[in-house]
Chains A and B, each alone.
Chain A
Amino acid sequence: MKRTDYDAVVIGGGFYGCTIALFLREHFGSVLLLEREKDLLTRASLVNQARVHNGYHYPRSFVTALRSFVNFPQFVKDYGDCLDSSFEQYYAIAAAQSKTNALQFLRVFSNLGIPVRPARAAVKRLFSRGLVEDVFLTTEYAFDAVGLRRRLSFEMERARIEVRLGCGAEKVVPRPSGQLELDLDNGAAVCARRVYNCTYSGINRLLRSSGLPLLPMKHELAEIALVQPPPEIEGLGITVMDGPFFSTMPFPARSMYSFSHVRYTPHTSWRDDDSQPAAAPAPDAVRTNFPFMLRDAARYVPCLKDTLYAGSLFDTKTVLLKNESNDGRPILFREHHGLENLYVIMGGKIDNIYDILHILEGRQARATGAVQ
């Protein structure tokens, strides 16, 4: 018979849920991880650009850039075997409509100590002169979500964390004993002293069904196109910024390149609010935007017109509404959210896991200190 009582239950088997479960296991005897899908890391943790951010994306948000820069080496150290670092990542600053100029880009990152170098002449030639102000070589890698899945599964098994796949949590309810009860979609229930809602785009769904206050979030149905780049682009990653532009870079989980565009990657967007249930449009019903992405991108990098389309991945991208991330960190950490010992956790980027772990460590140290 399956166990029903745990020290901690983590809901959501994405990168965050798995990593947090591993952290919790260091402090608690029994940890359960629930994942609705058939496998771990199949949702946002897979359907994304796979960029290990080093700050370059955020020339106008100092803290986000700084946090990425601080977290980057740690991520590389911890997950080096799940990374593709074999390509050259270039950031180009668009000449028009960009919210940053080349000088500002250079200044911000040089001051932070984040490596920015001028691009090779041969690479610069790939870009349309009039449309791009300057191009910089940066240090940024791509992560392999399948590799991460393998790694995390192995580590959780080794740490004796119980993982239930294909098992969704429907509702959290308090028990008179002070524990939290989780009703599962297979009709069963489990109990825990503490519950961690790490369901990313599903956070509010679980809160709503539990009758708890919702958090201010916006969702987008996002499309990541998978492509075979033209030979000129092989071995390079390209991001044109800072505004409604695009990027294409290796996508190790499928041994292809991803292609995304600020304007065309999001298809529809919606917000969770109390009056109407949030509904994500079904990805199957959505037509690809890739032709639009490509047409625009080829204006900036003409050789991209020879890109071969292989298909698209769709999933929901969730962003915190502005006032939730006031200090610039795209993370959400709610302790005792509506219920004692219910934690809600979300990170806007893979590397923000360290910001979350930092907070959890602080809480843990304080709790241990209080016990002593």
Chain B
Amino acid sequence: MSIASPARKGGIEVASRPQTMSHPLLWSAACLLAAWIVLVFLSGWAEARVFSGSPVDGPFQLVNALRRLHAGQRAGTDFPFFHGVGVPWLHYPGFVLLGANLWASELTRQWLSPVLYLGSMSVFAWVATSGDRRKTIVFVALGALLSCPLGLRELYTPGNSLLGIRSTMPVFFFAVLLTRWGAAIKIALGGVVAALAWICGTDQGLMLIAACAFGGVFLLVTRRPLRGIVAGAFLTACLALVPILALITGANVKPALRYAFIDLPQDQFWFFGAPPNSFPSDIWSLRFVGVRAITVIAISVAVWLALFLRPSKRPDFTVVFLMLTTGLLACLSYLGLLSASYFAPLGRLLLLGTLMWAVSESHPGWLILISIPGVALGLIGPASDLWKRREKLFETGPMVSGCILAPEWKEHLKKIEDAVGPLSGRGNELPLWSTYRGLPEAIAGAILPGEDYLIHALGPERQSYIERFRNTKPQFVQTIRPEYTNYEEWLRNSTWPFYRELLAHYEIATVTPFSLIWKRTPEPGGDESPASSIVPGKTFSLPPGGEQPDVVTVEVEYQTTSSLRLVPLFKSLPRYLIQFRGTLNTVPVSLPPAPNRGRFVFGVLRRPRTIPVLRAESEGLAPGAAVEIRAVTIQPRQLALGQMQFAAAGAH
């Protein structure tokens, strides 16, 4: 970088060389940005208009939370929100303004991500260009247009997990650092923003705070610019966290803290980072993160190292250094599972850093050069999104909760209503227990106790969930069809006692495109034979299946070892798996680490006339990990004819 930017006291001036931006460039940038915005927002509108979302992810995770807020419940106290208790609050105003129904939630979900993506980028650009309006426009236009080619679609759309929103606050934090405000303001505001970053995105916020902690110490030691501000912001964040959380949760911070700091990290690896998710099983498996991710990470590491090793007096360098530290720390998520989008928050920060540099160094030729790929590719992604949804723009039909339902959703609802009776107005009388609550509950207006998603019952809550189910004895139960997604098999593996209870008392009443609707039977379905022991071992086989498929509840007593068991984070790297052969279920069981003997119960779907073979093994990056099976007990249960669809595992 060639510019010498005279840092003012407590402030940063990034662009020191006055530049004039040519009109054609400015106008092209503005037009392209406008086109990008129209495409993205129109596409989001279409998606919200005709509802075809997943029954197990994104949409209802949010709808359920917003309905709870609307009913006067508090996130973090009355119900957990997986991605951070602030996330539903960010959506809440839009939800209320638009009518507090599915449509309101969906449109807010579709639009808030791009609003915050562009909003945070604009604020950053405004500060980074010292308030130069023209440069800000070019910065944001390039940022938006380059987002899709760089693989950042998950950030400007809600995606599955609102990753864009979760990684927004760190951008505001870095914008605060770049302002010309006084140090005290930066410390106070930066600290609060960092605390909010945690509240609005548990993992991403945590990495920002960790980066500030590390950065604070490192900058102090190496006497680099902004050291006091970063260290101060870190301390402020730590101090501000609990009061802000108290404000949100109604002074009951313990459950939210427990969920985020104990239950979630405990289950992060063995539960979430287990098959069918791909996880880092060995060093080569890392290639599955994809070329774009590897490229972004490699460039970031190189720049980070350069900044780390070469002391500089430039505060903007320090900011970029911190940005990359945050982004790279966020990539530690890859140790959990190899999701294609996990590099996106780093990609976003790298993009912002690069644009800050490019625009501040700007001359039209250089900008035009880097805008070429953006111009060429930048609109293709949003345009193709809109093209895929073109029919939704003009679709007409009856509305349910403000949306037109896609055909499979209509069929889903009809079948549920045929079995359970009309939903509307049933409220908490709705006799349906869903492992993934969603549209039926929303239509009924039910606000039921306990977690809305079985997967969100983490740690000890898992047992409580099953207890509650046992005691409630609902008339109907909804579970996801194993053919719809293999995550259902994963859920069965990790919460078998729930399914065991289900099989003991329910038969399938109807099958919808997404789910199985079970009805409680007066007599328990097929009998469970008495438990018997079988010879344990690394590989062990179960008695062969009979003429009909059935389920065998297997309880293993086991012990795990790991060479890194004393190293935080890394101690969870190995996965202890039980693989199947000759069974109808195909997704391996992941055992929680148990250095001193653990017990785990899972189900095996026996294929007719076949001997199931089970193999325990450890996989993962940590060397010296092993799992030893000490004892095995089995308890077969026949499947009633009306339960056969349960055996459709492996048929997705």
A residues near B (Cβ < 8 Å) are 62-63, 66-67, 69-70, 73-74, 108, 111-113, 323, 326-329, 355, 358-359
Contact = CB atoms under 8 A, between A and B. Distances in A.
Contacts of B647: 62-63, 66
B508 A326 contact: yes
A113 B607 contact: yes
Q: What class of interface size applies to chain B in its complex with A?
A: 20 to 34
B579 to A, nearest CB: 14
A355 B586 CA distance: 26
A69 B608 contact: yes
A355 B415 CA distance: 24
Contact of B547 (A70, A111, A113, A329): A70
Given A63-B645, A359-B641, 12 more contacts: A63-B648, A66-B549, A66-B648, A67-B644, A70-B548, A70-B549, A70-B608, A73-B609, A111-B651, A112-B607, A112-B651, A327-B645
B415 A323 contact: yes
Most A CB contacts (10 A, CB to CB) among B608, B642, B650, B651 go to B651
A194 to B, nearest CB: 21
Interface string B557-589: 000000000000000000000000010101000
B96 to A, nearest CB: 38
Contacts of B549: 66, 70
Nearest to A64: B644
A70 B548 CA distance: 6
A73 B647 CA distance: 20
Contacts of B644: 63, 66-67, 327-329
A323 B418 contact: yes
B511 interface: yes
A61 B480 CA distance: 16
B610 interface: yes
Contacts of A74: 547
Nearest to A355: B641
Contacts of A62: 483, 645, 647-648, 651
Nearest to B545: A113
A180 to B, nearest CB: 26
B547 A326 contact: no
28 contacts: A62-B483, A62-B645, A62-B647, A63-B645, A63-B647, A66-B648, A69-B608, A70-B608, A74-B547, A108-B651, A111-B586, A111-B651, A112-B584, A113-B607, A113-B608, A326-B415, A326-B508, A326-B509, A326-B511, A327-B510, A327-B511, A327-B641, A328-B511, A328-B644, A328-B645, A329-B641, A358-B641, A359-B641
A70 B608 CA distance: 7
A74 to B, nearest CB: 7
B584 A111 contact: yes
Contacts of B584: 111-112
A326 B510 contact: yes
Label chain A's interface by main secondary structure.
helix
Contact of A113 (B508, B511, B610, B651): B610
A358 B548 CA distance: 11
A67 B510 CA distance: 17
B483 A323 contact: no
A347 to B, nearest CB: 13
Given A66-B549, A69-B608, A111-B586, A327 B642 contact: yes
Nearest to B585: A111
A116 to B, nearest CB: 14
Contacts of A108: 651
Contacts of B607: 112-113
A318 B431 CA distance: 35
Nearest to B651: A62
B526 to A, nearest CB: 10
Contact of A323 (B508, B510, B610, B641): B510
A316 B647 CA distance: 33
A326 to B, nearest CB: 4
Nearest to B640: A362
Nearest to A327: B508
Contacts of B418: 323
A359 B641 CA distance: 8
Contacts of A111: 584, 586, 650-651
A49 B651 CA distance: 27
A285 to B, nearest CB: 37
Contacts of A326: 415, 508-511
Contacts of B610: 113
Contacts of B509: 326
Interface in B104-141: none
Contacts of A112: 584, 607, 650-651
B525 to A, nearest CB: 11
Contacts of A323: 415, 418, 510
B152 to A, nearest CB: 32
A327 B650 CA distance: 17
Most A CB contacts (10 A, CB to CB) among B508, B645, B647 go to B645
A43 B586 CA distance: 43
A326 B515 CA distance: 12
Please list the 9 inter-chain residue pairs (A to B) with the smallest Cβ-Cβ separation, ordered nearest first. A62-B648, A111-B650, A326-B510, A62-B651, A63-B644, A113-B607, A327-B508, A63-B645, A113-B610
A358 B526 CA distance: 13
A67 B642 CA distance: 12
Contacts of B608: 69-70, 113
Contacts of A359: 641
Contacts of A113: 582, 607-610
A323 B644 CA distance: 16
A325 to B, nearest CB: 10
B607 to A, nearest CB: 5
Contacts of B548: 70
Interface string B598-613: 0000000001111000
Contacts of A67: 644
A66 B644 CA distance: 9
B80 to A, nearest CB: 34
B416 to A, nearest CB: 12
A113 B418 CA distance: 35
Most A CB contacts (10 A, CB to CB) among B582, B586, B608 go to B608
B448 to A, nearest CB: 25
A108 B483 CA distance: 10
